[in-house]
């Protein structure tokens, strides 16, 4: 399991520097930028011992991140007020930490939005999960570095203890992202074959993607679900041929 951090259109060197320092604090190494607009030399002044992370940081596109990581985690202060707003349906920091802890074979990337506007709907649509920090007030918008500090602290709380842990002899094979993506394709095909409401299909696909990202499916789980969907598609095809 690896956790990386990506900043979308970062502008302020102080935030970038503090984020590199935070990553050093919590043992993260991979930092990415999407369309950066900050002075790297100025950011280095605030990174302290995290300057090596800042130096090694890479500029990428969102599509490259989507291919590289199993789970993209969007961050937002705007929570869904309607049950139909799947994009803004979020989990809290504690739940995110538990998902990461339980998914030891997946690579995660936390996506932090613009300092002024955050992530837009198109960017959130690329994410598997969306996390919100509940400040218990109406003012939920946080500085990106402060928000990351809370997320990384919650994740670190579930890191394995240094005490020896008795390992199970039985090895459970977790599903690969390739198999999960294949299941999602079958879900889409089944929706088409069953004349599922066209305007609801994107919501269905987003819900399925989020459900699988929140769980820790094994290869067997995914294969059983794919078998069910395949048989359903065949049954629908037979009915149409009669």
What DSSP assignment string belongs to 137-190? SS-----HHHHHHHHHHHHHHTSPPSS--PPPSSPP-BPPHHHHHHHHHHHHHH
59 φ/ψ angles, rounded to the nearest 5 degrees:
-95, 125
Among the listed residues 8, 10, 59, the one whose alpha carbon sits nearest the alpha carbon of residue 30: 59
Pairing between β-strand 71-75 and β-strand 107-112 as defined by DSSP bridges: parallel
- The DSSP output letter for 114 is B
Structure confidence at residue 171 (pLDDT): 59
Among the listed residues 188, 54, 35, the one whose alpha carbon sits nearest the alpha carbon of residue 123: 35
Q: Rounded to whole angstroms, how far apart are CA atoms 190 and 179?
A: 17
- Cα 16 to chain center, whole Å? 20
Q: Rounded to whole angstroms, how far apart are CA atoms 125 and 201?
A: 14
pLDDT tens profile 157-213: 987 644 444 454 555 677 888 888 899 998 999 999 989 998 888 888 888 888 888
Structure confidence at residue 216 (pLDDT): 77
Structure confidence at residue 150 (pLDDT): 96
Assigned architecture for domain 2-157: 3-Layer(aba) Sandwich (3.40)
Q: pTM for the whole thing?
A: 0.75
Structure confidence at residue 210 (pLDDT): 85
- The count of other CB atoms within 10 Å of the CB of residue 3 is 22
**What would you measure as the largest C-alpha separation in the chain, in angstroms?**
73
- Above 70 in pLDDT, residue 107? yes
Residue ranges of domains in the chain: 2-157, 177-241
- The count of other CB atoms within 10 Å of the CB of residue 65 is 19
Structure confidence at residue 164 (pLDDT): 46
Q: If pLDDT is split at 50, 70 and 90, which confidence band does 95 have?
A: very high
Q: 3-class SS at 197?
A: coil
Structure confidence at residue 215 (pLDDT): 79
Average pLDDT, the chain: 87
Tokens linked to 202: 């994107």
Structure confidence at residue 242 (pLDDT): 77
Q: If pLDDT is split at 50, 70 and 90, which confidence band does 239 have?
A: confident
Q: If pLDDT is split at 50, 70 and 90, which confidence band does 83 have?
A: low
């Amino acid at each position: 399991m690896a956790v990386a951090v990506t900043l979308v259109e970062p502008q302020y060197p102080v935030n970038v520097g503090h984020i590199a320092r935070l990553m050093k604090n919590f043992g993260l190494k991979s930092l990415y930028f999407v369309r950066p607009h900050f002075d790297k030399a100025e950011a280095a002044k605030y990174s302290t011992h995290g300057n090596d992370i800042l130096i090694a940081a890479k500029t990428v596109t969102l599509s490259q991140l989507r291919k590289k990581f199993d789970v993209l985690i969007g961050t937002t202060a705007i929570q869904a007020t309607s049950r139909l707003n799947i994009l803004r349906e979020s989990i809290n920091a504690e739940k995110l930490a538990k998902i990461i802890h339980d998914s030891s074979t997946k690579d995660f990337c936390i996506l932090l939005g613009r300092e002024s506007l955050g992530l837009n709907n198109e960017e959130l649509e690329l994410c598997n999960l969306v996390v919100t920090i509940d400040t218990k007030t109406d003012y939920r918008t946080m500085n990106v570095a402060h928000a990351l500090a809370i997320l990384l602290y919650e994740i670190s709380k579930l890191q394995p203890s240094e005490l020896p842990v008795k390992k199970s002899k039985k090895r459970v094979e977790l599903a690969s992202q390739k198999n999960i993506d294949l299941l999602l394709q079958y879900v889409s095909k089944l929706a088409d074959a069953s004349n599922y409401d066209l305007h609801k299909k994107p919501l269905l696909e987003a819900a399925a993607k989020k459900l699988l990202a929140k769980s820790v499916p094994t290869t067997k789980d995914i294969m059983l679900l794919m078998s069910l969907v395949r048989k359903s598609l065949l049954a629908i095809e037979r009915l149409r041929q009669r």
